Structure 1
Amino acid sequence: MFARWRFERALRSLRQSDHSVLRDYANAAWPQRDCRATEASYLALDFELDGLRKDAHLLQAGWVPFVGTTISLEEAHSVDIRSSAELDDTAVTIHGIGEQRAANGQRLRDVVPELIAMLAGRVMVAHGEAIERYALQRATRALYGVDVPIWGICTLVLEKHLKPRLVGSQAYRLGPSRHRYGLPEYRAHDALTDAIAAAELFQAQLSRLPADATLGQLERR
């Protein structure tokens, strides 16, 4: 309940923003906490970053909107984000985005408004949601001087609730979690693929919850 109150308070503050993209975000038609989780609007989001440092560079964003059991692939979007930094070799090996590709990406100030517009009125879904939340808020802080409030659901946290006490450090990663629901194996570390994978996992998780489960109930997970 406190998290929702804090979210709504932040939205009220954004309605006075000098930036139209933030005002539009704040004035969007947001779902209520008692909305059935199977009927709410979501945006699955994934970022590829230059490592997990707090100052890691955003290199790629992928997102896909969905409602309940329907994923709108025609609205799915992936974009490389421009960076002129010397990238971490280990991270490059994982996601395959090298310095030449990063240098040709779109500017952060062009990507973020599009992403915020897509997220307006939707609940963000991500596996390890805190990473996407922090990265997006760091970007809006740099561009607009404010942390955009985000209503999010973490499929990793939800999986720990549904399947507690699994053994092994890899048990709750995205791939193994999908495998438990019979979902196909995807190539990891591409932002759009991982966003779609998280959306499908969340839909599978919803099928294991009571049909009348609400957003407010998921919010406490």
Structure 2
Amino acid sequence: MRSLAAAGHRVLQDYAAADWPDRSCAASTAPYLALDFELDGLGIEAHLLQVGWVPFQGSSICLAEAHSVDIRSKADLDTAAVTIHGIGEQRAARGQKLREVAPRLAKELSGRILIAHAADIEVSAIERMAASVWGVQLPVRSICTLALERKLRPNLVGTEAYRLGPSRARYGLPEYEAHDALTDAIAAAELFQAQLSRVPAGVTLGELEQT
């Protein structure tokens, strides 16, 4: 975080100075931000098209603070990806500029642990966003609900069993329509809360965080 504190951008300085939870604190008490990106495919250069997030702590999800925004792109989008998430080139061209989205997202993530299903995708997207807008690497602390589900239920057959929908179904959570950033973020938050009820009491943040 030292390099961010020395950066010339206030949002990065605030991010570095945020009240970050200690890794030894109980996971059930830590502050989180469930987040999801919709991308133009899964390649390393895939365009960021939509982001949705919702803050939560303990058993409470603050839907009043949930937010979703389309991100501007003027690229020729991958047809297969457009079919999945429904964000076509006309809609993408009307989205907010990345340099407008990035400061708000960094503010929301300050002092919070990112929660996402297949969190490496979201972490990579944030890192690319920060590099593009500020020219820096933004450290992101995260917990992956997919990785946690594999630990909790290691013997399920097939990769489909660990997708977000099937994972939620095992905890009796309702089925949501997938591939909308905000809906998927809320779905990941609810799944994580359900997973916390299955881990040993007093499990620490450090035991669940990705390293």
- TM-score interval, normalised by the smaller of the two chains: over 0.9
In the TM superposition, 1:109-148 aligns within 5 A as: 109-148=99-138
How many residue pairs end up in the alignment? Answer: 211
Task: Classify the secondary structure of the residue corresponding to 1:18.
Answer: coil
In the TM superposition, 1:38-187 aligns within 5 A as: 38-187=28-177
> Where does residue 14 of structure 2 map in the other structure?
24
Give the Cα separation in 2 of the matches to 1:220 and 1:55.
Answer: 23
> Where does residue 196 of structure 2 map in the other structure?
206
Give the Cα separation in 1 of the matches to 2:53 and 2:197.
Answer: 22
Give the Cα separation in 2 of the matches to 1:203 and 1:12.
Answer: 32
Offset at residue 169 of structure 1 (A)? 2.2
Task: Classify the secondary structure of the residue corresponding to 2:159.
Answer: coil
List structure 1 segments (4+ residues) > 6 angstroms apart after TM superposition: none
Could you tell me whether the CA contact under 8 Å between 2:143 and 2:210 is conserved in 1? no
Give the Cα separation in 1 of the matches to 2:174 and 2:130.
Answer: 34
TM-score by length of 2: 0.98
Offset at residue 219 of structure 1 (A)? 2.2
Gaps of 5+ in 2: none
> Where does residue 8 of structure 1 map in the other structure?
none
Query: Any idea what the Cα deviations from partners look like across 1:166-219, whole Å, max 9, x if unmatched?
Result: 101201000000000000000000000000000000000000012211101112
Task: Classify the secondary structure of the residue corresponding to 1:217.
Answer: helix
Give the Cα separation in 2 of the matches to 1:175 and 1:165.
Answer: 18
Tell me which amino acid in the other structure corresponds to 1:54.
Answer: I
Structure 1 residue 188 and structure 2 residue 178: aligned?
A: yes
Give the Cα separation in 1 of the matches to 2:210 and 2:142.
Answer: 11
Tell me which amino acid in the other structure corresponds to 1:146.
Answer: V
Structure 1 residue 215 and structure 2 residue 178: aligned?
A: no
Offset at residue 137 of structure 1 (A)? 0.4
Give the Cα separation in 1 of the matches to 2:195 and 2:136.
Answer: 33
Give the Cα separation in 2 of the matches to 1:212 and 1:203.
Answer: 14
Please report the RMSD computed on the Cα atoms of aligned residues, expressed in angstroms.
0.9
